[in-house]
Amino acid sequence: ETGVTQTPRHLVMGMTNKKSLKCEQHLGHNAMYWYKQSAKKPLELMFVYSLEERVENNSVPSRFSPECPNSSHLFLHLHTLQPEDSALYLCASSQSPGPNEQFFGPGTRLTVL
């Protein structure tokens, strides 16, 4: 296990459900990230937070809503998802945003029915 934890590890939800993914980092980092990883595709950066401020949003649909209450916690709120949103959702953290090594959590495997 790394210094980045994610819950839940697996999630199955219907298209009308609302759920949240949680990420916590214990590394004292100031930047946190959400990535989506689908089969046969590269990691897709979704959101970047630096010191609780969102600094990057890569044209992610509004059915994904991030929240960063402090520099150690990051949430991804999900509502009215589509089956194509099924993927591995990874949280990562780094000392600061930019050209720094990132450390990943174990991920949440999401299945949308």
Partner 1 sequence: QKEVEQNSGPLSVPEGAIASLNCTYSDRGSQSFFWYRQYSGKSPELIMSIYSNGDKEDGRFTAQLNKASQYVSLLIRDSQPSDSATYLCAVSGNTPLVFGKGTRLSVIA
Tell me the closest approach of the beta carbon of residue 44 to partner 1, in angstroms. 9
Site for partner 1 in 3-32 (CB under 8 A): none
- Restricted to residues 83-112, the positions that interact with partner 1 (CB under 8 A) are 88, 90, 97-107
Task: Please tell me the distance from the alpha carbon of residue 106 to that of residue 109, in angstroms, as a whole number.
Answer: 9
Contacts of 91 (CB under 8 A, 6+ apart): 4, 6, 21, 23, 25, 32, 33, 34, 35, 74, 104, 105, 107
Q: Which is nearer to partner 1, 17 or 43 (CB)?
A: 43
**2 versus 82: smaller Cβ distance to partner 1:** 2
Cis bond upstream, residue 99 (ω within 30): no
**Binding string to partner 1 for residues 68 to 87, with x set by CB under 8 A, is what?**
--------------------
